[in-house]
Structure 1
């Protein structure tokens, strides 16, 4: 009976984990920055517990080998999928999260090892939120300073001091950014801005 309860709990957690992964592929996530990370870590801890608790069962040994094999395979193509998994489970390269109001929030982050820092704008829709705009952070920095940094890396390393929601339309969202005591309004317009 105890084993049945543990198995059901693991299946429920796995369903949340799977739902989160499916949402992520469609530019959605559960509402809040840490929600996805907490679900990931609970699933990982519960998976380790299940493997240890039911190790004598053949199906668990097969499951463990499949998970280990998947992680090892992700390291083969220059370790890019592996680092994507690491970023998905951790807060690595997530530089800032700013709540603009009850509906909108932004993240200054690097989605994976091959990307430069980006600004993601999220819109809360009940218990989930959608990534509605993605913009290279350098575009925001250049707008705030009205010229190009001599060193792009230096510009991307400047943190946002403050961000304030200015205007929302059906085609854009205006956010006033303050970086190193300089302010400017940046309008995020394109759903998927070009990569840098």
Structure 2
């Protein structure tokens, strides 16, 4: 009987290992976001979001800046989590960013199951509309992401962000990892 259980257990493990994993998330920045900064947009998102969430007073009463910082967090959660040119970042960075994304979505009443690209587009579109003083367009942009309470509630939350300690911690960790990565590369270049 025991060999049969062992065989069954091994078969179950192998079957689980052969189950396809879900497709990885993907996200692209809108063209307007890529043009907004100089150089690498991922580096820019790391630096800008770590400043924004590390200095909440910079976002107070500025829903456009809050929407942009949240869009950057959404982007970084995916971009730093799936290899590519950023695969040498510390693995804990992507874990903390996912936790921060969950924190921000819950705190703002955003859909937890929204695809990252939907979130990035909605938040960047809302930020652009708010900079044009077009609250109606900003609300329309957020509608797919914030069905609870409607666009007005989402805009009010963006104007008065609640404390987001995980977002501050995760983006600071991403900035520190970026700095370490740069320092390591600079040291390697000096020796070669």
Structure with higher strand content: 1
Give the alignment's TM-score, normalised by structure 1. 0.31
TM-score, L = length of structure 2: 0.31
Q: Larger RCO: Structure 1 or Structure 2 (Cα < 8 Å, ≥ 6 residues apart)?
A: 2
